[in-house]
Amino acid sequence: MTESTYRIQGATGDWEVVIGLEVHAQVMSEAKLFSGAATAFGAEPNTQVSLVDAAMPGMLPVPNAECIRQAVRTGMAINAQINKWSRFDRKNYFYADLPQGYQISQLYYPLVGEGEIEISLDDKNPEAEVKTIGIERIHVEQDAGKLMHDQHPTRSYVDLNRSGVALMEIVSRPDMRSPAEAGAYLSKLRTILRYVGSCDGNMDQGSMRADVNVSVRKPGEELGTRTETKNVNSVRFVMQAIEHEANRQVDVLESGGKIVQETRLFDPDTGSTRSMRSKEDAHDYRYFPDPDLLPLELEDAFLEECRASLPELPDAKRHRYENDLGLSPYNAGVLTAEAETARWFEVLLSESAAKQGKPEADVAKAAANWMLSELFGALNKLGKGLDDSPVSPQAGAELLALVGDGTISGSIAKQVLEKMLETGDGAEAIVEREGLKQTSDTGAIEAAVAKVLADNADKVEQYKGGKEALFGFFVGQTMKAMQGKANPKVVNELLKKALG
C-alpha cells in the first residue's frame, strides 16, 4: 500500500488524511479489574456491583491477575514490548457514571509498549497491499458505568454493572492514511483479540469501541491538528466518521479557518460528526500514581505462561494454510479471518484426512473448496452461520470421504448436503437410503449412452461435422438419464467410444 492512494481533492490541491485509533477493548474475564464482581453482558442493572465498584469509602482495589494476563497475552500477540514494571495512575474527573471521581488507568508506565499489526487492503489476496501499523502502547484501565437518559423524560438512571470492568486501551500510531486502512486495521485487531480470547470483539455490545483521531495535511507537510471522535462502535461507522471528518477539515482549512483540537461525536443517522467539547489535555486530569496500588511487577514464569498459552495467530495460520496445505491466498484468508471458521475447518480437515487415510495436504483443497462454496452457500440460503450449522465438521468429512473414494459424484454431493441440512442425518445413511451411489456399471451406462445418441441423431450429425462443443451436451444428457449417478469418467470414455 503506497501512501499516495487516498487523497481528498480540494480547491488548493490534494490533501492527505492522517488517522490514529485508540481502541477500548473490554477484557474477557469472569471478574472486574479490581473487584470480584461479575462482568457478564446484559444482566439486570446494578446486579454486578461490588462495594469497590460503587466506590464505598474505605474499599481497596485488588488487581485481578487474569485481567493482567489477558492484556499481556494481547501485547505478545501484536509483537509488543511487555513492560515487567508498570504502574496505575488516577485520572481525575467528575461524572455521574464514575462514583470514585477518578478512573484508575496507566498514563506514565503502561503494561504494554510498542508493537505492530500488519494489515492488507486486498481481500482477494491478503499477501498484497500489505502495510504495518505501529502500536504505541496498550494500557489497562477501569471502565465507567452507564447512564441512561431516555428512560423517562425527566430522569436519568445509572447502571454500575460496567463500572470497574477491565479495559485494554490499544493506541495506534498515526499510521493510517485512508478510511479503508482504518477499517482493515480495526478488523484485523478484532480478529487478533478473538483468536487470543482476550476480548470478544462484539462492537454492537460495546465491548470494543474506537476513538478516531483524524487530521489532514498537504502531502509532505508536518502533521496537522487533529480532532478525536469518541466511542465509534462499528467498522463501517469508523470509516464514515473519517470520511466526513477529513472532508470537513479540508473545507475549514480551505476557507481560511483553523482546526481546533476537540472531541467530537459521531451521529450514525447522518454519518456526520459534531463538536462535543474542546479537547482536554493530560494535565486537566491531575494524573497521579494511585496510592492504593503497588506497581505491577511481572515475573518471568508468568510471562512464559502467557506466551505458552497463545494460540497460533491469524497471520501464521494463513501462511501455514498457503505453504503447507497449498490453499490459495484468498481461501487461506477467508478461512483464518475468524477464529471460529479456522477451528471448524481444522476439524473438517483432520477428520477428512483420517477417514480417507491421506495426509492433510492431499485433502485440504477439496475440504476448503467444499466448505467455502458448498457449505457456506447452503448455510447462507438458510440464513445460518457456522455457529448454528446443522452439519458438523465430522459430518462434512463423512460426505467428503464419499466423494473422495468415488462413491458419489460432486453433483450428488450437493443433493446429499441439502438433505443433511434438512434432516440432520449422516451422509452415508442418506446415500444408502436414497440409492445415490455412483455407478461404474458399464452396461447401464452404455445403454444410456446409446439411447441419448439415438434420441439426438441430429446433434450427433453436427458433432461429427465438427461441432465438438456438443460433447458436453451428450455428457449432460447421459448423466441426466443416469440420474446423476454415473461415474463421469466412465461416461466420458463410453461416449468417446460410441461417437467414434
Q: Candidates 20-28, 56-64, 305-313, 424-432 — which segment interacts with ligand ADP by CB under 6 A?
A: 20-28
Q: Which is nearer to ligand ADP, 165 or 210 (CB)?
A: 210
User: Residue 167's closest CA among 191, 148, 193, 192?
Assistant: 193
Q: Which of residues 468-497 bind ligand ADP (CB under 6 A)?
A: none
Binding to ligand ADP by residue 223, rule CB under 6 A?
A: yes
Helix axes 442-455, 470-481, angle to 10 degrees: 120
Residue 235 belongs to what H/E stretch?
helix 235-254
Residues that bind Mg ion (CB under 5 A): 22
d(CA 343, CA 338): 9
- 213 touching ligand ADP, by CB under 6 A: yes
Q: How far is the CB of 23 from ligand ADP (least distance, A)?
A: 9
Instruction: Report H helices in 257-385.
Output: 300-308, 314-323, 329-336, 339-356, 360-369, 376-381
Q: How many C-beta atoms surround the C-beta of residue 429 within 10 A? A: 14
Residue 21 binding target from Mg ion, ligand ADP, none, CB below 5 to 8 Å by type: ligand ADP
Residue 114 makes contact with ligand ADP by CB under 6 A: no
Taking the complex as a whole, how short is the minimal distance between the CB of residue 212 and ligand ADP, in angstroms? Answer: 9
Tell me, what DSSP letter sits at residue 289?
A: E
Of 340, 431, 421, give the one whose Cα is nearest residue 381.
Answer: 421
* Span of 168-176, 369-377, 448-456, 492-500 interacting with ligand ADP by CB under 6 A: 168-176
Q: Which three cell numbers stand for residue 86?
A: 508498570
Judged by CB under 6 A, which stretch of 84-92, 172-180, 266-274, 488-496 contacts ligand ADP?
172-180
Q: In the complex with ligand ADP, which residue's Cβ is closer, 214 or 342?
A: 214
Among the listed ranges 178-186, 208-216, 236-244, 391-399, the one in contact with ligand ADP (CB under 6 A) is: 208-216
Interaction mask 390-409, ligand ADP, x per CB under 6 A: --------------------
Q: Which three cell numbers stand for residue 363?
A: 485433502
Single residue of 171, 186, 342, 378 touching ligand ADP by CB under 6 A: 171
Q: How far is the CB of 320 from ligand ADP (least distance, A)?
A: 32
Q: Which residue type, as a one-letter code, is found at position 382? A: L
Q: Residues near 348 by Cβ (< 8 Å), separated by ≥ 6? A: 367, 371, 393, 396, 397, 400
Q: Is 45 helix (H, G, I), strand (E, B) or coil?
A: coil
21 contributes a contact to ligand ADP by CB under 6 A? yes
CA distance 292 to 61: 7
Binding pattern for the stretch 409-438 against ligand ADP, x by CB under 6 A and - elsewhere? ------------------------------
| 215 near ligand ADP, rule: CB under 6 A | yes
144 vs 490, beta carbon nearer ligand ADP: 144
**In the complex with ligand ADP, which residue's Cβ is closer, 265 or 366?**
265
* Nearest residue relative to ligand ADP (C-beta): 20
Report if residue 18 touches ligand ADP, rule: CB under 6 A. Answer: yes
Query: Of 406, 386, 395, 404, which Cα lies nearest the Cα of 429?
Result: 395
Q: Which does 174 bind (CB under 5 to 8 A by kind): ligand ADP, Mg ion, none?
A: ligand ADP
Q: Which of 10, 174, 197, 206 binds ligand ADP (CB under 6 A)?
A: 174
> In the complex, what is the shortest distance from the CB of residue 39 to ligand ADP, in angstroms, rounded to a whole number?
25
Nearer to ligand ADP, 20 or 145 (CB): 20
Q: Which of 7, 84, 146, 173 binds ligand ADP (CB under 6 A)?
A: 173
Whether the CB-CB separation of 443 and 494 falls below 8 Å is answered with: no
What is the closest distance, in whole angstroms, from the C-beta atom of residue 82 to ligand ADP in the complex?
A: 19
**Cβ(87)–Cβ(296) under 8 Å?**
yes
Please report, to the nearest 10 degrees, the dihedral formed by the alpha carbons of residues 226, 192, 271, 173 taken in order: 10
The residue within the footprint of ligand ADP, chosen from 22, 114, 346, 418 (CB under 6 A), is: 22
Inter-axis angle of helices 329-336 and 360-369, to 10 degrees? 80
Radius of gyration of the chain (CA): 30
Residue with cell 514494571: 85
| Residue number, 113 or 174, with CB nearest to ligand ADP | 174
According to DSSP, residue 433 is labeled H
Residue 228 interacting with ligand ADP (CB under 6 A): yes
What is the helix (H) or strand (E) element at residue 134, kind and residue range? Answer: strand 130-142
Least distance to ligand ADP from the beta carbon of 194, Å? 22
**How many residues are there in the chain?**
500
List the single partner that 173 binds among Mg ion, ligand ADP, none, CB under 5 to 8 Å by kind. ligand ADP
- Burial degree of 71 (CB within 10 A; 0-12, 13-18, 19+): buried
Stretch of 79-87, 153-161, 167-175, 386-394 lying at the interface with ligand ADP (CB under 6 A): 167-175
Interface positions with ligand ADP (CB under 6 A)? 18-22, 171-174, 213-215, 223-224, 226, 228
